[in-house]
Amino acid sequence: MVRLERYFEDIYEYVDLWASGLIKAYIPEIEGEGYLRLKTRVVEAILDRLDTVNQLRLSIGLDEMETEDCYDYYINNVPELDEKSKSINLYKYDVETREMAEKQDEFQKNPNAQAYLVVMGAPDIILENSHVMQERIDLINRLLVEGGHAKISPQKTEEVLTKLLVVSSW
């Protein structure tokens, strides 16, 4: 299990700053107790998401995210502003986090490209087309095995997918 103390040692102050910036960007007029309550709630939601992602990472053989990785993940998965109510949609964010957490057993049994892409914070369009990246990973692994080598490690798989994401974003 991921150590929550780690967040308070290594990343809490960053998440606190990210939450403050998010709130001020989305709802600049909020102040006082309302601001503090919302900031606490946003911090909790982000920390819960990062903890869930780290548990999923561990289940597929990856290390926990470092602070910079957490920031990259957060930037690509910021809680959204609900335009109608002019509030941060933490309900949707929390539901997505719970849905991710429910995939832990599935990911552990079958650490496929989609599992890696989820923990990397890939956008939905990439997740929907993860079969293309899975085919590439399968090809790489087949060629490695045919050449007398072991399949690529979880860390190398993440590295390969990162490169494929960069190339596919051109």
Q: What is the pLDDT of residues 44-92, one digit of tens each?
A: 999 999 999 999 999 999 999 999 999 999 998 999 988 888 889 899 9
**pLDDT of res. 1:** 43
H helix or E strand, kind and range, residue 97: helix 90-101
Buried b / exposed e over 24-61, threshold 16 CB at 10 Å, is eebbeebeeeeeeebbebbbebbbbbbbbbbbbbbbbe
Secondary structure of residue 82 in the 3-state scheme:
strand
Its pTM stands at 0.85
The model's pLDDT over 135-162, given as tens digits with 9 standing for 90+, comes to 999 999 999 999 999 999 999 999 988 8
Render pLDDT for 110-141 as a digit per residue (tens, 0 to 9).
Answer: 999 999 999 999 888 889 989 998 999 999 99
d(CA 57, CA 51): 10
Closest among 124, 10, 137, 118 to 55, alpha carbons compared: 118
The pLDDT score that the predictor gives to residue 167 is 65
